[in-house]
Amino acid sequence: MGVEQCYWGLCFVPLDADGSKFFGFSEFLAALALMVLAWTIADVRYRFRLRTAPLPLQGLTFIVIGAVGCLALLTDWWRAEQWPVPKGNLVTSAGWQAFLGGLFLLTFMTWVWFAFIRPAVFSRWNSRRFVQQVYRAILRGSPAELPEIADELSRSAKTLIEYSWQSRELKAYHEQRKPGKETAHERLLRVRRYAYDALLIIADRKFCRHVVQASPITALALFEETAAQQKFNVPLDTFAKNITSEAIANRDSFAYHEVEGYYTGYVGFHKPLTKALYGNYALVDSLGQVFDVDYRERQRWDAEQWETFCRLVLVTFRSYIESGAGNQHSSVLFRVVHDIQGSISGLYKINGSTSEWWADDSLKRLRVVVDFAIDAIKILDARKDDFYTTLRRRDGDHHRDVYDLIAELMFEIVFEAASVKAPKELCWAVQHNDVWGKFFGSFAPEGSAARIIKYKLRRLIYDEISRMGEWPNFKGSRVLGMAMNVLGLKDHGTDYEKPTRALRKAVLSWTKEHYARIAAESPRVAADCLVDGMVYEAEGPRLVKIGMQILDRPPSRTVLELDPAATEKST
């Protein structure tokens, strides 16, 4: 033991070199090596958590670990040189080592707490760092990072929606804000802007691709929180649109798995993500862009993708009807139904095909759209009370309700199917079996909504045909050609024909009166009315429909006598 020295009442004794030692510089280096190893092998997820902690954890860790290391090194040097320390029990050698070791352990435990035990979520304390880290990850666009970041965002869904401005609120804030120094209250409001920006940032198309593929739970959490908090005007519209686009593009996504319980078990029955995003009409209507997939993408979709898209739309349509909003104009649904209608615009390309036309994708898309219309009618029929509607719309009446929406879709289907005129077998399969039989056949819907829509459809068909009496045109000619093909040129008196008997009578009556005159004045339009197997004989004048040949039997001939063109002109 060295000599005790006192100065002004404060005594110092040399530090005992042989005293107890349990946390020195060598122990610090060993612990630091393990900590560095843990930090190095931590993946993207844990580095993101540490960088978004409420504390500036990286900077604090560097400062504390550096200070502990320097003090541990200095302590060992002090002991080795036996330099004097204050005499007394206020701070002993063991206590000093315990303090340094405890400080090091506390730093490590804080790191573990935020990385593993209680990761931070978006809050007022870390809003800026949180948004910065998400923004940088999306800018880097690393396929290894984005799925992890997407999954991490799911835990912050509640606070992101809670803090985020709604569009109208942000606009009002900017209008009321006065220039000058930022107040304390405005600094708090910045957190809301950070949340708003975060929701805009995650709308990145590449990020949405990874959300759909690797972390659909993130989209589920965001949309569930939006619905739960009734904040439908948060900026999730572009995010929702891109989720829809990527879900259709990825055939392994929820859009293909959440089908029916028969195929996919519990998820198929529950359909969590499908219901969260598409099953709330108020949410879809507020977001507006959920189904606004770029037209260039839609042009590349095949029948399976259109079927999936239609299934998602029907989920929203069901919510629209069940919520009682059917009397309100829905720009979202009217727009998306128009997009679905456009999927069959290329059907004319199979006209004249003679080889494996039944496997053509355009024909498959036709069946998908027909089924969509039928399913929409069934949803309407499931409602106890019908919505008010005007059965007959006058020309120039731009008001359209949900019944008009479906009837007009069915009319466009009829019009597109009418472009297939030959050969006879293909024409009949498309026009009658795939379209007309589904709309008016024995297994067609028969509820009150179905009767309203069928009435409107028959009216649309006849009105289009009757317009040719004033102005012969190729649209009316196509519709007339299909009507004569599927309805026939005479009534056979069967129950199967009952739903369209009045339409047949009206169409044939109009044809008798006008067709010969049109044939004389506009031969090309008149010829366009005739499908394969139907001929016009000017000598009669008459229309003759030649049936299909069955085995060795001669084909049947059905004749419709027409009023002479001269008689029509004289009247």
Higher pLDDT, 540 or 99: 99
| C-alpha neighbours within 13 Å on the C-beta side of residue 129 | 19
Average pLDDT for the chain: 88
Higher pLDDT, 85 or 365: 365
Mean pLDDT of 473-495: 89
- pLDDT tens per residue across span 134-187: 999 999 999 999 999 999 999 999 999 999 988 777 776 665 666 655 666 676
- pLDDT tens per residue across span 297-308: 999 999 999 999
> Would you say the pTM of this structure is higher than 0.85?
yes
Higher pLDDT, 108 or 430: 430
- pLDDT tens per residue across span 308-350: 999 999 999 999 999 888 888 899 999 999 999 999 999 999 9
Structure tokens at 191: 């957190």
Percent of the chain with pLDDT over 90: 62
Sheet strands side by side (includes 542-546):
534-537, 542-546, 557-561
**Residue 11 phi/psi, 5° resolution?**
-100, 145
Please check the confidence at residue 570 and state whether its pLDDT lies above 50: no
pLDDT at 151: 94
Please check the confidence at residue 219 and state whether its pLDDT lies above 70: yes
- How far is residue 563's CA from residue 511's CA, in Å, rounded to a whole number? 9
pLDDT at 199: 96
- pLDDT tens per residue across span 2-39: 567 777 767 777 877 777 788 888 888 888 888 787 77
Contact 93, 15 (CB under 8 A): yes
Nearest to residue 558, comparing CAs of 543, 538, 536? Answer: 543
Nearest to residue 90, comparing CAs of 8, 10, 1, 22? Answer: 10
